[in-house]
Structure 1
Amino acid sequence: MQRIPVRFGAELRRRRIEAGLSLGGLASLICFSKGHLSKIERGVKAPSHDLAQLCDSALHAGGQLSSLISAPERSTPAPPMTEAEVGTPWTLRMQAGGESDFVAFDPASSGGGAMPSTIVSWSLAPPLLESGETNSALPYFRNVFDEFRRLGQLFGPSVVAQLCIAATSALRGMAHQAQPAHRDVVLRLASRFAEYTGWMAQEAGSDAASLWWTEQAVQLAADGGDDELAAYALIRRAELALYSGDSVATVQLARRAAQQARSVRIRGLAAQREAQGHALVGDRDACRRALDRGAELTAGAVTPDGTDPVLGSIHLPDLTAFVAGWCMHDLGSPAEAVTLLGDGLDAIPPESRRARARYGARLALALANVGEIEQACAIAELVASHVALIDSATIRADLLRLSRALNRWPKNPTVRRTLPHLAIGLHTHRTGPGTPA
């Protein structure tokens, strides 16, 4: 029970009278009722700290009145988090309608197979958007997507995939609240986040998760009126087949993508993937025909208007030359590959680590196979340092081939210095996203 400070009331009355103020006059000055002040002066009602400060000011009491009552209660600052609390596991369940449930668990209670006890739970409702709010938010999400793509050039899937998943969920929830005029745009942008998540899953070495997320992207795009992503998804599947060494599936999926695609760009990318499939089995004529077709299509592709993010690689300045160099090496013509790849590595910005590592691995492999060991090793060390940061399973596959190629010169001092760097790059594999249950 709060103690009523009688002394405050008496002191307030004394100072008020000395100032020549009536009860009503002071009440007008501090915007409190006359009856309220009367109860305080008589000790019937306890003064608040705000009232004491107002009276101090009105009566020029210099804080003397405020000092007669207890200081306002202040919340005790929270102690710093312990190391165990910082390491607390949590989950974030994202539902299709935009709802999310965040739960943090007590790690000390998870022993013996029992369910860990909850420390914090937090339910996040989907946003309630007024007309026009969705459209005004979209440019920010579009910029976020571009930033995530840049981030994917610098760091591995363990960083980027989590961000992309959260953004996909947020946009999917916004689509349920968006006006019909804006809903399609929201869904198409969500599909791009989902597709990039699938690419990160592939880079992490999880083909199953890559396929799952790519299919999610196809469905989101289709719901938003974009069927073109379905064709591009076939190119992505063809790439998975390429890395697994399945040339037949690579060619078949690429051809299906070309038949299904409407845009010249997607048909050009499909032709390039088909060429890589032919090169895998040494079919030089079919590979060259596909490369020529891809070069013609990509050269005639209309520059995207920027409404939707561009599908496919955007960080390689000359994708056509890169694919052609890739194919020539797989066809057993590393000298042609070196000529095609040439100085292209220097044209890739330093901050595009993933693109530089992908390009450099192929260039170094071609150089090694034409006996340019010093150059091959110099680029190999660059690639290895990048792979240690970006954690790419696809580039690591090329790095393994490069390591085997360099091992043909075990007594070369440059090779002996370089191989430990490659071993570190090959050893830094991290577990990527798994297939959702």
Structure 2
Amino acid sequence: MDLPFVSSREATQGLPPAQEFGVELARLRVLKGWSVRGLAERTAISEGHICNLQSGRRNPTAAVAAACDAALGADGALEALAGKARQGRSTGIDADLLISGYTRIFDDLRALGRTAGPSTVAAPMRSVAGLLADAAPRVGRVRRQEVWLIAARYAEYLGWMAQEAERPADALRWTDVAVRWAALGGDDSMAAYALVRRASIAQHRGDRSGVVDYARRAAGHPAATPRILVHAARREAQGHAVLGDYDLYRRALDRVRVHRAETAAGPEGPRWGPSIENGTPRVIEASCLVDLRRFGQAAGIFAVELQRAPATSADANSRARFAVRYATAQAGTGDHEGACRTVAEALPVIESVDSATVRAELRRFLGAADRTPAASRQHGVLNAVRAAAYRAA
């Protein structure tokens, strides 16, 4: 797999010498998929010392740099940066530049998480989150809040990755951490988004009324931004659809459209949670119609909308989920061969994305497809779907 990480020059450009070494050390470690502990075990350097190096609080000695360079296969690059760091003797933390480096790493890890799943990115993200939380109290007051906010972004995404790995307790724990860190960064809107996360977890647990309750609480939170209101309205619409209440579902769906327009008209605000662009209101409508068992309407919308939106790696998880919902709608209309064809086309992406959300959709599809007379003719496809649906997280 080609990893979408930025180059060494892009990641460290403009950093003081000690931080240049630290960010490059973290970048190379992340490329290997190693945690701080993993690097410590391979270099005989303590985890605490590696964290100090990555944050720029300590300058690397020649021996430490050589050990890291050899373990990471840096071909002398880390040793050269270490020489610059020792000459510069810069041990202070420049939070602004630290944020710049770790924001780039966050964007790369998030992109990788969308295409390769939580197991690939969880360990390096935990390491960087801890590093930033450790560094935040030590930086100057002017930039301290920004350090906490980037740390909160890591924690929030770790919550999502835990949810996708079917670890709801870890998902809630990381989400609560993100709320605390965001508050230290002067942002209360993460507290509103945390209620959306709880609604999502309630849905996966089968707590139908809990979905609606948490979504409404998120929408009523005083710090909720238009973007968070979109997430809340989506989740509420899905909750009402599962409960079979068509009128309340339609009202919630109307709010999705209203709040999407508000996000376009107003300031950006914090981007907690997934992109609201992963699923148009029409696709969300079709998804809810499957829950309402209006399969013909749902299949008609999916057929148009999924063809209209170009496939990109950035929304692989969402697109796969909606494709399986489309297949479930097709099966509900009696088009079993079309349903198996749709899900078979999505299987390569599904098998590469380790997603509890998609696995749940696959199990739902199987529940519909296995009961049909045509199931025996699609034996190979259904077996492949079954293997993907029930594989270990």
Measured against the shorter chain, the TM-score band is 0.7 to 0.9
1:393 equivalent to 2:345? Answer: no
Q: CA 1:232 to 1:408, structure 2 compared with 1: closer, same or farther past 3 Å?
A: same
- Could you say which residue in structure 1 is the equivalent of 2:211? 250
- Could you say which residue in structure 2 is the equivalent of 1:367? 330
Q: CA 1:315 to 1:378, structure 2 compared with 1: closer, same or farther past 3 Å?
A: farther
Structure 2 Cα separation of the partners of residues 358 and 295 of structure 1: 21
Alpha-carbon contact 1:202-1:393 (below 8 Å) kept: yes
Alpha-carbon contact 2:231-2:276 (below 8 Å) kept: no
SS at match of 2:311: coil
Q: CA 1:187 to 1:348, structure 2 compared with 1: closer, same or farther past 3 Å?
A: farther
Q: CA 1:366 to 1:279, structure 2 compared with 1: closer, same or farther past 3 Å?
A: same
Give the alignment partner of residue 328 of structure 1, picking from 272, 289, 293: 289
Q: Deviations over 1:251-306 (max 9, x none)?
A: 11111111114312212221121111111110111111111112111122147867
Alpha-carbon contact 1:385-1:421 (below 8 Å) kept: no
Give the alignment partner of residue 422 of structure 1, picking from 376, 385, 389: 385
* One-letter amino acid of the structure 2 residue matched with residue 147 of structure 1: D
SS at match of 2:220: helix
Structure 2 Cα separation of the partners of residues 403 and 217 of structure 1: 36
* One-letter amino acid of the structure 2 residue matched with residue 399 of structure 1: L
- Could you say which residue in structure 2 is the equivalent of 1:184? 145
Structure with higher helix content: 2
Equivalent residues, number: 320
- What 5-or-longer segments of structure 2 have no aligned partner? 1-33, 58-89
Structure 2 Cα separation of the partners of residues 177 and 281 of structure 1: 50
Alpha-carbon contact 1:274-1:290 (below 8 Å) kept: yes
- What 5-or-longer segments of structure 1 have no aligned partner? 1-89, 94-100, 106-118, 431-437
Range moving further from structure 2, 365-374 or 391-400: 365-374
* One-letter amino acid of the structure 1 residue matched with residue 120 of structure 2: V
Counting only pairs closer than 5 Å after superposition, residues 197-216 of structure 1 correspond to structure 2 as 197-216=158-177
* One-letter amino acid of the structure 2 residue matched with residue 329 of structure 1: V
1:314 equivalent to 2:275? Answer: yes
Counting only pairs closer than 5 Å after superposition, residues 38-437 of structure 1 correspond to structure 2 as 104=41, 120=44, 122=46, 123-124=48-49, 126=52, 127-128=56-57, 133-260=94-221, 261-302=223-264, 308=270, 310-314=271-275, 316-346=277-307, 347-351=309-313, 352-412=315-375, 414-430=377-393
Alpha-carbon contact 2:155-2:178 (below 8 Å) kept: yes
Q: Deviations over 1:371-427 (max 9, x none)?
A: 222331122123333232222111111101111211123445652231111022123
Counting only pairs closer than 5 Å after superposition, residues 26-45 of structure 1 correspond to structure 2 as none
Structure 1 Cα separation of the partners of residues 356 and 224 of structure 2: 31
Instruction: Please give the TM-score of this superposition, normalised by the length of structure 1.
Output: 0.67
Structure 2 Cα separation of the partners of residues 321 and 140 of structure 1: 38
Alpha-carbon contact 1:391-1:429 (below 8 Å) kept: no
Aligned-residue offset at 1:340 = 2.9
SS at match of 1:159: helix
Alpha-carbon contact 1:239-1:250 (below 8 Å) kept: yes
Aligned-residue offset at 1:137 = 2.6
Structure with higher strand content: 1
Q: Deviations over 1:62-107 (max 9, x none)?
A: xxxxxxxxxxxxxxxxxxxxxxxxxxxx9857xxxxxxx97649xx
| Percent of aligned positions that are identical | 34
Q: CA 1:206 to 1:226, structure 2 compared with 1: closer, same or farther past 3 Å?
A: same
Q: Deviations over 1:47-74 (max 9, x none)?
A: xxxxxxxxxxxxxxxxxxxxxxxxxxxx
Aligned-residue offset at 1:234 = 0.2
Question: Between Structure 1 and Structure 2, whose CA radius of gyration is higher?
Answer: 1
* One-letter amino acid of the structure 1 residue matched with residue 140 of structure 2: Q
